[in-house]
Amino acid sequence: MTSRLVPEATAAGFATNQVQHGFTPGAAPRTAVPAIHQTAAYEFASLAEAADLFALRTPGIIYSRNASPTQTILEERVAALEGGTSAVAVASGQAAVAMTILALAGRGGHVVAAHQLYGGTIDLLQDTLDDFGIPVTFVDQDDADAWRAAITPQTRMLFAESVANPIAQVLDIRLVADIAHAAGVPLVIDNTVGTPYLVRPGEHGADFVVHSATKFLAGHGTSLGGVVVDQGSFDFGAEPERWPQFTRPFPRFGDLVLWERFGIGLAFAVLVRSKYVHDLGPSLSPFNAWQILQGIETLDLRVARQSASALDLARHLAQHPAVARVHHPGLAGNPWQPLAERYLPRGVPSVFSFDIAEAGADAGDDVDRVARVIDGLQVFRLVANIGDARSIVAHPASMTHSHMSADQLRAAGISQRTIRVSVGIEDPADLIADLDDALAVLVSTPAGAGHEDIGHYA
């Protein structure tokens, strides 16, 4: 049930770690690839062994709510790809974010988070976690003064996405990490859209990295999962009074002090697994852990192709008469292009958005016009997901971000005319033809048709 530090992975290349890290072939019964350990629980050799495992005196697996051997391989692999020291995998990205915030904030802790977040994360922060006494302050992720001003003595973490869903604003990770550290709190980055192939937030100062493994890591739209990685950089012992969950005796484990017993880079994973996942139960099934491992083996190949195809599509859309604006930081003139060049040298993620052109007075309302485009697509699928091998569209204002107020949508850069795309691995020519065919319904009634920003996006 205890966690363990990830064995050194830095010697091998990214792709080698993707395929091999965390699994030693030849262990009985000599499976060549990781096996699915489909068992709810594990037998103990003796009562003494069981007691040691339950008391966290020795590492090992007790019960599949906390861990399974398949899950351990996944955790070690994702930690290696992110350059971290330990990880915990859970049932979904939402659970990974929730467990991370609960473990860091505890009761009464305050969170400062970017406005530019996945809608489900905003729901979690401003609704459910607020109910539990963990308040949030949202700030514009590009406004350094706003981050600083929002921090209070109760703040326990800053939270943002490396590349925000759906507008693809690129975060200045180093800037926000420095602000967090000056205030003595960690920076948590959701790297779901970024992926460790394109950006490793830990290299730029992030202390914890969360993923919806459902997306690019699993990669085929089959399985939910989430992971949180500890980068081994944040010292909870530096201000022990602020972090009692790590520095005070833990009664359920015989007054063991997590920070003394496990220390930097591991104590966080033990707390998440042994308290929050254990008590609240968002466990990853061994089958889903295995599916995500399968997906990770081709992460770099898929992401490189998806990223290149997405840039082709973005350039094409930027020239389209029915498109007003393309939110893709690989395009010249996009406000986040300089940050993309700095943080994403291998390519910009394949999740981005575009706004259809504004309509003339008689052309119908924006949502109707968006619906005509989306309903006309044949290759892109209308699905509430991203990072799939299939290309997907969504309308954030009425789907993933529909719980947000008009002000929140504006702050996140989303309008009723915004369509999100997640580019898959199909032939780019088929994707471009599909968008062209669907957008043609607007070109026939282009009154007032936009390109208000097209000059910026050559």
Ligand X SMILES: Cc1ncc(COP(=O)(O)O)c(C=O)c1O
- The CB density around residue 429, as the number of other CB atoms within 10 Å, is 10
Residue 94 contacts ligand X per CB under 6 A = yes
Residue count, binding to ligand X (CB under 6 A): 17
Cβ atoms of residues 93 and 192 within 8 Å: yes
Task: Please pick, from the candidates 75, 76, 161, 388, the single residue that binds ligand X as defined by CB under 6 A.
Answer: 161
> How many other C-beta atoms can be found within 10 angstroms of the C-beta atom of residue 341?
13
Instruction: Report 375-414 residues binding ligand X (CB under 6 A).
Output: 386
> Alpha-carbon distance 129 to 118, whole Å?
16
Cβ-based nearer residue to ligand X, 197 or 253: 197
Q: Closer CB to ligand X, residue 202 or residue 225?
A: 225
User: Nearest distance from residue 34's CB to ligand X, in Å?
Assistant: 21
Of 86-94, 148-156, 264-272, 447-455, the window that binds ligand X (rule: CB under 6 A) is 86-94
Give, as ranges, the residues between 240 and 259 that touch ligand X (CB under 6 A): none
Asked if 214 is part of the footprint of ligand X (rule: CB under 6 A), the reply reads yes
User: Where does this chain touch ligand X (CB under 6 A) — which range of 49-57, 93-101, 262-270, 304-312?
Assistant: 93-101
Given 105, 171, 193, 258, the residue binding ligand X (CB under 6 A): 193
Give the separation between CA 30 and CA 16, rounded to whole angstroms: 20
Separation between Cα atoms, residue 193 and residue 88, nearest integer Å:
19
> Please, which residue, 68 or 162, has the CB nearer to ligand X?
162
Verify binding: residue 150, ligand X, rule CB under 6 A.
no
The residue (of 76 and 161) whose beta carbon lies closer to ligand X is 161
Are 84 and 6 in contact by the 8 Å Cβ rule? The answer is yes
Return the residue of 34, 120, 232, 424 that touches ligand X, per CB under 6 A. Answer: 120
CA 417 – CA 247 distance, rounded (Å): 50
> Which tokens belong to 333?
């003139």
Which residue lies nearer to ligand X by CB, 92 or 231?
A: 92
Rule CB under 6 A: is residue 224 a binding residue for ligand X?
A: yes
Of 104 and 323, CB closest to ligand X = 104
For ligand X, the nearest residue by Cβ is 93
Pick from 75, 82, 142, 190 the residue near ligand X by CB under 6 A.
190
Beta carbon of residue 413, minimum distance to ligand X (angstroms, whole number): 15
- Interface with ligand X includes 196 (CB under 6 A)? no
Separation between Cα atoms, residue 41 and residue 248, nearest integer Å:
30
Nearer to ligand X by C-beta: 90 or 258? 90
Q: Which of residues 325-354 bind ligand X (CB under 6 A)?
A: none
Among 23, 118, 236, 336, binds ligand X (CB under 6 A): 118
Of 292, 293, 272, 269, the C-alpha closest to 282 is 272
Cβ-contact 280, 270 below 8 angstroms: no
Q: What minimum distance in Å lies between the beta carbon of 139 and ligand X?
A: 18
Q: What's the min distance (Å) between Cβ of 31 and ligand X?
A: 27
Among positions 165, 233, 274, 334, the unique one binding ligand X when judged by CB under 6 A = 165
Piece of 69-77, 113-121, 315-323, 356-364 that binds ligand X (CB under 6 A): 113-121
- By the criterion CB under 6 A, which residues form the site for ligand X? 92-94, 97, 118, 120-121, 161, 165, 190, 192-193, 212, 214, 224, 226, 386
